[in-house]
Amino acid sequence: MSYGLLKGKKGIISGALDENSIAWKTAIKAHEEGAQIVLTNAPIAMRMGKINELAEQIGAEIIPADATSVEDLENLYTKSMEVLDGKMDFVLHSIGMSPNIRKGRAYGDLNYDWFLKSIDISALSFHKFMQVGDKLGALNEWGSVVGLSYIAAQKTFPFYTDMADAKAVLESIARSFGYRLGKSKKIRVNTISQSPTMTTAGSGIGGFDSFFDFAEKMSPLGNATGENCADYIVSLFSDLTRMVTMQNLYHDGGYSSTGISEEIIEMMQK
């Protein structure tokens, strides 16, 4: 059911790889709610995914951009304003990658060049999205910028290795830039700590299936799906959340507030 929450709003959604991506689901939901959208992803990710199918489905233009490149982001915002005939009301940062995780390097044996790449892609790109957009005057007053995080920024999950550090930086950037953009343009900046979700990126992490089942048993509402998260993101893009900013918002079925569940106790007693 559509409520017209984003009627007349324009925005950029990054990171839609395939139909399992939260960004993909968010683009569909935002379109249903009346938004005009530009899709973007790194050229290599676009070759791996199905973003052209999504663009055709929602009538969106694709503007490739490496989110670690200021020049690419300047081009992204400039062309987006031309395509959409106006400034952005929302931006979704759904970008994260760790070469150390992909190549099986343990946290105590990190390749530091790869670690810096994890931080650049997964966290500094969030700062670059906002800095470039702000300098170009491409963000409307009372706009909304959302980044996707994970609870490993606060609590230790051994399998998440250097991505946990990257997510901690991401959340810090949301607070620091959220203050700046809030003061200057009433733009709010938030991150969402989502349940473990069966995306292409998530399922590539070692031990993910076991943790997915564990989180499902720990959460009183169960794991939040990608579709659930897309709904939540759309609410943050909308005018209904105008006074929410600089927050890391848990969207995890109650997992983050549960010490232990009855299901886990029962498992341990067997």
Kindly tell me if the per-residue pLDDT of 48 is higher than 90.
no
Q: Is 150 annotated as catalytic?
A: yes
Query: Which pLDDT belongs to residue 46?
Result: 73
Q: What is the pLDDT of residue 204?
A: 58
Of the pLDDT bands very low, low, confident and very high (cuts 50, 70, 90), residue 43 is confident
Q: What is the pLDDT of residue 206?
A: 62
pLDDT digits (tens, 9 = 90+) for 74-130: 999 999 999 999 999 999 999 999 999 999 999 999 999 999 999 999 999 999 999
Q: CA–CA separation, 215 vs 160, rounded Å?
A: 15
With a CB cutoff of 8 Å and minimum separation 6, the contacts of 235 are 5, 241
Please report the pLDDT score of residue 59 as a whole number.
97
- Is the per-residue pLDDT at 31 higher than 70? yes
Q: Is the pLDDT of residue 21 over 70?
A: yes
Which pLDDT score, from 0 to 100, does residue 199 have? 72
In this predicted structure, the answer to whether residue 207 has a pLDDT above a threshold of 70 is no
Instruction: Tell me the per-residue pLDDT of 117-133, one tens digit each, with 9 for 90 and over.
Output: 999 999 999 999 999 99
| Residue in 77, 112, 150, 232 annotated catalytic | 150
Q: What is the pLDDT of residues 227-263, one digit of tens each?
A: 999 999 999 999 999 999 999 999 999 999 999 889 8
- As a whole number, mean pLDDT of residues 151-156 equals 94
Choice among 160, 232, 250, 255 that is catalytic: 160
pLDDT, position 142: 98
